[in-house]
Amino acid sequence: MSTLKVYAPYDQSLIKEIPLKSAAEMQEAIDRAHDLYEDRSQWLAKHERTKILEDIAFLMEERYDEIVFQSAQEGGKPLKDTKVEMDRAINGVKLAIENLGHQGGQEVPMGQTAASVNRMAYTMREPIGVVASVSAFNHPINLFVHQTIPAIAVGSPVIIKPASTTPLSCLMMQDIYDVAGLPAGWCTTMVCDREVAEQLVTSPKVNFFSFIGSAKVGWGLRARLAPGTRCALEHGGVAPVIVEPDTDIKSMITGLTKGSFYHAGQVCVSVQRVFVHESIMDEVVNEMDTLARSLKIGDPVSEETEVGPLIKPEEVDRVHEWVTEAKNAGAKVICGGEKISDTCYAPTILLNPPEDIRVSTDEVFGPVVCFYSYSNRDEAIARANSLDYAFQASVYTQHIDVALDTVKKLNATAVMVNDHTAFRVDWMPFGGRDKSGLGIGSIPHSMHDMTREKLMVIKSDVL
């Protein structure tokens, strides 16, 4: 039997070795989920699903500390931030319960033509069918919830493949679902290699595919989906920020620093490109430099740690390679720019790197933020919009017309005003456009996507 060794990213110690699912086991899971969906006698009534979701939320709260520690240990996100993730995940389950009562259809008016008299029509929403989810490592608790709970809530069986670096948190969540009374087959966690996971993509028995990960992999998988399979893809971005000269710098810096170095920059909407008006560039960079140097880097399971490790040592090497490339091309390293260890990289600020090198054009996914000066806001917006990625962006200004104009002109699915690009709550629309993804995620949006509409038309002479 093949196994997977799960290592702590901070010290590379072995946490646990677990079995990998085989191709036969994956096919069995797909067949079981498909059979559940095809047999309406096995569908869970709405009140049954609601009760299960309520019990899941209760059990998550009961096992709060255990799940948080496991996630921080295997994923490397500092304990204090993992607690925030856990709170969001619990709230996500409660959001599904709340939105379950809003899943419905509407009347379609009839009688406007002679051919449509004596009829009434209504739409209703039904579960879409088997949902397949492929998840990422950076938010293992909350992504598990986002990629399974909407399906469970609407009555679609779901199979999830967690990231190979963070499967233990997901298996713990699966255990909670089981204890909460979710019948076998309605949510199945499959820890497997990439080749086995590809069955989730190509199977004609899968009706909806949810992917969180790199653009290269996501678009490649989309091309292999069976005909008729819908999908949602969430990729990364190269998040831009516009900082105007009237910005309240003191109030901005704390949030901007958090948005840049939260989870060591391993966030799809992490602040990466900050365009600052030349008149305040020195002050902004100096303030950011001071705060970045004060961040405590270390073991993610320590309550004091603010920046943890990158997920793998090779990611540290990659980030350092990109930073070295920027430095050699003329960027000024304000702080950081060095490995702290084989697993941790110093929070790094780069000033005016060329805009045609990797730290400026591709998602760093590490603790690196780039600052660029500008004199004209429209020119800064054009530079911010110059890439094929478009996810979340932000603008800092005290002038409402400037804010509104910038929001209108930035190519992004969401623009934060006087807040960093990594802001998110789980009921708001969230997703990328262009290379950054396809579809909009959130608990309510995903519930809608994991259902489909059916129209009923009734003909009667009494109408």
Q: Looking at 170, 187, 268, 370, which residue is catalytic?
A: 268
Decide the pairing of beta strands 240-243 and 451-459.
unpaired
Q: Tokens standing for 173?
A: 């969540």
CB-based contacts of 278, cutoff 8 Å, min separation 6? 373, 374, 375
How far, in Å, CA of 19 to CA of 8, rounded? 18
Place of tokens 């009667």: 460
- Classified as helix, coil or strand, 358 is helix
Does the active-site annotation cover 370? no
CB-based contacts of 242, cutoff 8 Å, min separation 6? 275, 377, 380, 381, 384, 393, 394, 395, 396, 397, 406, 410
Does the active-site annotation cover 234? yes
Measured between alpha carbons, how far apart are the two ends of the chain, in Å? 65
Instruction: Find how far residue 35's CA is from the centre of its chain.
Output: 30
Q: Looking at 74, 85, 234, 363, which residue is catalytic?
A: 234
Cβ contact 257:292 at 8 Å: yes
Which among 102, 93, 396 is positioned nearest to 255, based on CA atoms?
396
Which among 334, 343, 322 is positioned nearest to 293, based on CA atoms?
334
Radius of gyration of the chain (CA): 24
Phi/psi of residue 41, nearest 5 degrees: -70, -20
What residues are labeled active site?
Answer: 234, 268
